[in-house]
A = this chain, B = another copy of it.
């Protein structure tokens, strides 16, 4: 075990919590040497061996109204996990539970980066033979002001640089036509702001204009910004479409010995495998894993969360919106 701060892991969040989360934590510790701090109900966690934990007797249900749940359930695993980060007992927070609750807990306990109007959820969309395209916001803000999209672009740029090693990420706006001036009123106003100098220089982005829905998996940009309603609908549409596509292809080819050749491709696109979402804009690292993640995927997410906190991604995010200038 290393002596650095552990990743606080919400043991109660996810479709198969807590046992699958505990298993993931054990893999992270034993296989990746990543220090973890499980947060959850000791009566339900089972035998933890020597895995460190923080007790939390309450659970925010998957369908619960996030802000209210976080205010009411002060001894919930997600709230205690966020507090562990705030209090310097953990380096970062990871949850596969209620996304809105993770966001609310992070916002209320860790606080916002100065100058950030609203944090956003950044989701890496898998791109074959390339780095992922980071799409944000994927659900934190159903209604957005045009200027928020600029901040999303800045935060997304810092994220793509730190997470995927892109020196000057290409940033685009998601809209309904390639030509300038296409979109709804928020996008149109945002596009005018995107044409102005200053924001791209501040974060080191290359602005490449508009992309359409069909470009999202094709690597047309490294960072794509949109409001959280659009981002969430698109994310779920592609996940649902992929699930259906994969199951039907497997059904048709059930009798073929060649069907296994598709496994790596399907693994690559598997929603749970494409990397956790990160909440960008709070003063701490908060990662949100897919509720259906497998133990190994979750263990990988814990490792990634640890790595991002090790390289102080929050410092880069703060600089991207000018907090330090």
Contacts and interface: CB of A to CB of B under 8 A. Distances in A.
Contacts of A139: 176
A206 interface: no
The complex is assembled from copies of this chain, and their number is 2
B253 A258 contact: yes
Contacts of A310: none
A116 interface: no
A117 interface: no
A203 interface: no
B265 A261 contact: no
Nearest to A233: B213
Interface residues of A, number: 51
A69 interface: no
Given A143-B185, A227-B184, A237 B213 contact: yes
Interface stretch (A86-94, A238-246, A280-288, A301-309): A238-246
A241 B256 CA distance: 24
Contacts of A252: 261-262, 265
A230 interface: yes
Nearest to A182: B142
Contact of A216 (B235, B240, B253): B240
A175 B187 CA distance: 19
Contact of A245 (B174, B226, B232, B242): B242
A123 to B, nearest CB: 13
B241 A238 contact: yes
A248 interface: yes
A250 to B, nearest CB: 11
Contact of A229 (B215, B230, B238, B256): B230
B233 A176 contact: yes
A218 to B, nearest CB: 7
Contacts of A253: 258, 261-262
A142 B183 CA distance: 6
A182 B98 CA distance: 14
B237 A234 contact: yes
Contacts of A245: 241-242, 245, 269
A234 B214 CA distance: 9
Interface of A: 63, 128, 139, 142-143, 174-176, 179, 182-185, 187, 212-218, 226-230, 232-245, 248-249, 252-253, 256, 258-259, 261-262, 265, 269
User: Which 4 pairs of residues, A with B, have the shortest CB-CB distance?
Assistant: A214-B240, A213-B236, A213-B237, A256-B258
